[in-house]
Amino acid sequence: MTDDPLRFAPDTAEVRTLYALTPDGFTAWQDGASEPHRAWAEAAEFQGKPGQMLVLPGPNGAPEAALVGLGDASAQARTRFSVAAARATLPAGPWRLSGDLDAAQLDEAALGWLLAGYRFERYATSPAPTATLVVPAGVDAARLEAMAAGEALTRDLINTPARDMGPADLARAATTLADRFDAQIAITDGDALAEGFPLIHTVGQAAGEGRSPRLIDMTWGNAGPRITLVGKGVCFDTGGLNLKPGASMGLMKKDMGGAATVLGLAQMLMETGQPIRLRVLIPAVENAVSGDAFRPGDILPSRKGLTVEINNTDAEGRLVLADALALAGEEETDLTVSMATLTGAARVAVGPDLAPFYTDDNGFAQALSDAGTRNADPLWRMPFWAPYETMIEPGIADLDNAPKGGFAGSITAALFLRRFVTAPRYVHFDIYGWNPSASPARPKGGVGQGARALFAAIEGMV
Ligand code: BES
Ligand code: MN
Ligand code: ZN
């Protein structure tokens, strides 16, 4: 029993039916419908197209049932969460899904419904959706509710502006999560950070007092496969001395989207009690400008011992991740993941809807892609293209953080990270973390990518 818009409603007597219909399904529905409902649907020109929604009145004029369009197969390939789109405008109260949905579509519809309940209310309130859904038969309610809650955490963290989501705030958010699930958490900062994590320290050192860099290390669970998630926690990315132009800097509060996504995923895993040993590593920094900012041309040491020539201070994500990945590799893992809003090149290649990922493990790549499809979390595999390794090798250091020319920018960033990894199974995601325009179940703003696919793939490992 709950008013939480991210959860399902209890089944009650006054539940009404929401028919989700393809154009063909609508024709079939008409055959069984009452004459007034058939006439009403015809007058409203309902055809079962995606985005169509129609409330059917009962004899006294009160809403009795509703129709939502799914579209035909080609329309369905273009729209995710078309049932969820109806939630905002459906009359208040509990609804039950019926119609042309197979088990997989029911799952997607139910998940989308919950995701459509998300609102970002830290600075202003917005009306809560009043329509609720009774959990459809065969749908694992607890699992989908955990997915929705984890995604909501991710969105909240990304949407919060850098003023209120600096490195200390991000560490606090991780601590709150750890406390809720009795996880261990350690934060490294100050001299210990400078000593043990020179890249994280150097990238973050220009940020002002109270916004100093730190490494968040959370662990949970004591048996089962070891899963280590590393998330880019650049709380704001000015570009550093290679300052971003205003238009490119505007959205850079989202540069901790990788951290936000791994925290959301961690919440999903802990809330559903997965039998794993989970570790979450987040280098939390602000890439700022000041007299002690790192400079183009600097050569920096790293935790792993490799030296890095800085050719662009705006390629900071791979630097902070490199030290965190080196730490991750100091113990054996069954899966190591990095999640990062790492390159503009990834956005150019696949746009904001698809999460590009890299792995050398073909079997896991397939499992991950399938898990993405099943969980409405589309992914696209990219290559760790070894012939481009020369692009990240400068003359006078081991590695170059920003190869000239910018060819294959997402691939060279991924290859850079792989130099710091020893784990047999490594997956790297170069995500965008932001939905530029409102779509069903995904409002404009911060959005998780890859978390549900990883969640389902990890379920498959235990
Ligand atoms: N955080 C950015 C990448 C980014 C930009 C992600 C826009 C999503 C949208 C990252 O730190 C960055 O600035 N990368 C540079 C690297 C380049 C200097 C080698 C980029 O992609 O331009
Ligand atoms: Mn940058
Ligand atoms: Zn960045």
For ligand 1, atom 16, the nearest C-alpha belongs to 315
Query: Looking at 96, 124, 139, which one is the last position of a domain?
Result: 139
Q: Separation of 410 CA from ligand 2 center, angstroms? A: 13
pLDDT score for 100:
87
Q: Separation of 225 CA from ligand 1 center, angstroms? A: 33
Query: Looking at 139, 168, 188, which one is the last position of a domain?
Result: 139
Answer yes or no: are the C-beta atoms of 127 and 94 closer than 8 Å: no
In a domain, 4, yes or no: no
Do 101 and 235 lie in a common domain? no
For the chain, what is the domain count? 2
Q: Separation of 253 CA from ligand 1 center, angstroms? A: 13
Do 96 and 112 lie in a common domain? yes
388: domain CATH number?
3.40.630.10
The continuous run of DSSP H or E covering 219 comes out as strand 214-220
pTM of the model: 0.98
Answer yes or no: are the C-beta atoms of 356 and 408 closer than 8 Å: no
- Give, for ligand 1, the residue of 251, 309, 314 to mutate: max count of ligand atoms closer than 8 Å to Cβ: 314
Q: Separation of 373 CA from ligand 1 center, angstroms? A: 27
Do 310 and 248 lie in a common domain? yes
d(CA 144, CA 6): 9
Which atom in ligand 1 lies closest to the alpha carbon of residue 432?
Answer: 8
Helix (H, G, I), strand (E, B) or coil at 18: strand
CA atoms within 13 A on the CB side of 270: 24
Alpha helix ranges (H) inside 44-189? 73-78, 103-115, 141-159, 167-180
- Could you list the pLDDT tens digit for every one of the 462 residues in the chain? 468 999 999 988 889 999 999 999 999 999 999 999 999 999 999 999 999 999 999 999 999 999 999 999 999 999 999 999 999 999 999 999 999 899 999 999 999 999 999 999 999 999 989 999 999 999 999 999 999 999 999 999 999 999 999 999 999 999 999 999 999 999 999 999 999 999 999 999 999 899 999 999 999 999 999 999 999 999 999 999 999 999 999 999 999 999 999 999 999 999 999 999 999 999 999 999 999 999 999 999 999 999 999 999 999 999 999 999 999 999 999 999 999 999 999 999 999 999 999 999 999 999 999 999 999 999 999 999 999 999 999 889 999 999 999 999 999 999 999 999 999 999 999 999 999 999 999 999 999 999 999 999 999 999
Which candidate, 346, 187, 337, 157, places its Cα nearest to that of 253? 157
For ligand 1, atom 8, the nearest C-alpha belongs to 344
Helix (H, G, I), strand (E, B) or coil at 162: helix
Name the active-site residue from 214, 232, 318, 425.
318
- Pick the ligand that lies closest to the CA of residue 240: 2
Tokens at residue 408, please? 């294959």
Answer yes or no: are the C-beta atoms of 175 and 284 closer than 8 Å: no
Q: Separation of 138 CA from ligand 2 center, angstroms? A: 45
Which atom in ligand 1 lies closest to the alpha carbon of residue 242?
Answer: 18
Burial letters 202-235, b for 16+ CB under 10 A, else e: bbbbbbeeebbbbbbbbbbbeeebbbbbbbbbbb
Query: Looking at 122, 139, 156, which one is the last position of a domain?
Result: 139
d(CA 338, CA 362): 17
Do 72 and 162 lie in a common domain? no
Residues around ion ligand 3, judged by CB within 5 A, are: 234, 237, 255, 317
Do 134 and 153 lie in a common domain? no
Do 87 and 230 lie in a common domain? no
Which atom in ligand 1 lies closest to the alpha carbon of residue 244?
Answer: 13
Do 293 and 265 lie in a common domain? yes
Helix axis angle, 451-459 relative to 141-159, nearest 10°?
140
pLDDT score for 243:
98
For ligand 1, atom 19, the nearest C-alpha belongs to 402
d(CA 200, CA 189): 10
CA 200 to chain centre: 23
Q: Separation of 431 CA from ligand 2 center, angstroms? A: 14
In a domain, 239, yes or no: yes
pLDDT score for 335:
98
For ligand 1, atom 7, the nearest C-alpha belongs to 344
List of residues 6+ apart from 386 with CB closer than 8 A? 415
In a domain, 10, yes or no: no
Which candidate, 349, 311, 303, places its Cα nearest to that of 330? 303
In a domain, 6, yes or no: no
Structural domain span for residue 77: 16-139
Residue 253 falls in the annotated catalytic set:
no
pLDDT score for 296:
98
Q: Is the CB of 378 under 6 A from ligand 1?
A: no
Q: How many CB atoms lie within 10 A of CB 182?
A: 8
Residue 318 falls in the annotated catalytic set:
yes
CA geometry: angle 245, 250, 252, nearest 5 deg? 100
The residues pairing with 356 across neighbouring beta strands, listed in sequence order, are 380
In a domain, 119, yes or no: yes
Do 39 and 175 lie in a common domain? no
Which atom in ligand 1 lies closest to the alpha carbon of residue 248?
Answer: 7
Do 119 and 169 lie in a common domain? no
- Pick the ligand that lies closest to the CA of residue 251: 1
d(CA 382, CA 390): 18
CA 186 vs CA 10, 50, 83, 273, 390: distances in Å: 40, 48, 42, 22, 37
In a domain, 22, yes or no: yes
- Give, for ligand 1, the residue of 312, 341, 343 to mutate: max count of ligand atoms closer than 8 Å to Cβ: 343
Which atom in ligand 1 lies closest to the alpha carbon of residue 403?
Answer: 19
Which candidate, 357, 425, 414, 363, places its Cα nearest to that of 389? 414
pLDDT score for 2:
60
Do 326 and 355 lie in a common domain? yes
Do 374 and 339 lie in a common domain? yes
pLDDT score for 287:
98
